[in-house]
Copies of this chain bind each other. A is one copy, B any other.
């Protein structure tokens, strides 16, 4: 992409309304524009990150054997009356009346709708296990929306629902989701810690939240430092194996890690003092096992292998896709701007031309652009007639992990400069060596 033809409205001034880094940086980097309180337009750069995150979620759901579909944003009040949540939900639910006077709502979650789909079509244990999910816009009418996309009203979320014949099978689904989520966050460059949580309005016995450590987090968190050393890395996981999933869950849930809602001071004190950590965290996902809460209320039953009709065991599992854009920035930025992890960066590499209009520099930039594209990468080439300082400031602000700088002196010597956004370190090398180095980094991503 050529910056001269792109729409990247970066702001010089820091917007007054933004209280936290991610909100500030997303506005300054031209990623979002507020449409009204808690509702944002995703400008081209922000949209690209949103789609990168969404793609990772889809890929990891596919790996776990979950089936994508799509439910609508608006739902009928009727189904929510069946489950009893229509009255219970409170003013966060956006209630709507259509032209015929029918009660509708903008879905904040989809347990009712998916249970209705299930009960209409599935009757036998032979069709189980089954996990369906979708990624769709949702609405929660927050009384005080703030922190940009972190606590918006219209938000993009993955929510998945497992259907199993009994509690044991449903617990495997729970474990499978935890493993799948760990991998999902790792690919985004995040350390997201599963913490025992309260269930809130979804209900349920077992639930974990995934929290990213950040000073601006809404929750206070207490954990054993040992948990931050854990990593899945390139470990191969057989998601169909109950044992394998359970072992990973046990590994990740053995060290103490809780939010203030479930914190147990006595257990925390039992951790060796040098490993006790108190911090703040941003919730980026939650998994629930809630058994037959919805299936009983709504009559979603199957025949089990003994021929008995039993309510299906369910859980629901969410990842805050739009919120993750903010959470990643909270976890990864510096004074100059965003520092994207390679897994979610909107463009893989920036190209800065220090002398636009100079034939040799222009030709070198175009060659780099073509060479990166030939490797399947998406470069952003700053081909504007701007001072070097302005170009560097823009690149630092929007946070592409790698930058190749082309100037007349280097080109005369046959070199360009490759710079890491994270370390700030630069290295001179040949044009093709720089392209290869960048391509190698992305090829090595899990």
Interface residues of A (CB under 8 A from B): 5-7, 9, 30, 33, 35-36, 39-44, 46-47, 50, 65, 67-76, 78, 91, 94, 96, 98-99, 102, 104, 106, 113, 116-117, 120-122, 127, 130, 132, 134, 137, 139, 141, 143, 153-154
Contact = CB atoms under 8 A, between A and B. Distances in A.
Nearest to A121: B9
Contacts of A75: 35-36
Contacts of A102: 36
A118 to B, nearest CB: 9
A94 B91 contact: no
A397 to B, nearest CB: 15
A353 B296 CA distance: 38
Nearest to A6: B67
Contacts of A42: 69-71
A35 B68 contact: no
9 contacts: A5-B65, A7-B130, A33-B117, A35-B75, A41-B72, A47-B70, A74-B106, A74-B154, A91-B99
Contacts of A141: 98-99
Given A9-B121, A35-B113, A71 B41 contact: yes
Contacts of A98: 94, 141, 153
A29 to B, nearest CB: 13
Contacts of A5: 65
A347 to B, nearest CB: 13
Given A36-B75, A41-B117, A42-B71, 5 more contacts: A33-B117, A35-B72, A43-B69, A47-B69, A73-B137
A36 B71 contact: no
B67 A44 contact: yes
Given A44-B132, A141-B98, A35 B70 contact: no
Given A130-B7, A132-B7, A35 B99 contact: no
A237 to B, nearest CB: 18
Contacts of A139: 74
A401 to B, nearest CB: 22
B94 A96 contact: yes
Contacts of A120: 9, 33
Contacts of A137: 72-73, 137
A41 B70 contact: yes
A117 B72 contact: no
Contacts of A7: 67, 69, 121, 127, 130, 132
A72 B154 contact: yes
Given A41-B70, A71-B41, A36 B99 contact: no
B76 A35 contact: yes
Given A36-B76, A70-B50, A76-B36, A43 B117 contact: yes
A44 B69 contact: yes
Nearest to A163: B7
Nearest to A152: B72
A44 B72 contact: no
A121 B130 CA distance: 47
Contact of A143 (B74, B99, B113): B99
Nearest to A78: B36
Contacts of A46: 69
Nearest to A75: B35
Q: Which 5 A-B pairs have the closest CB atoms?
A: A9-B121, A42-B70, A36-B76, A41-B71, A91-B99
A32 B107 CA distance: 18
Contacts of A94: 96, 98-99
Contact of A72 (B40, B68, B78): B40
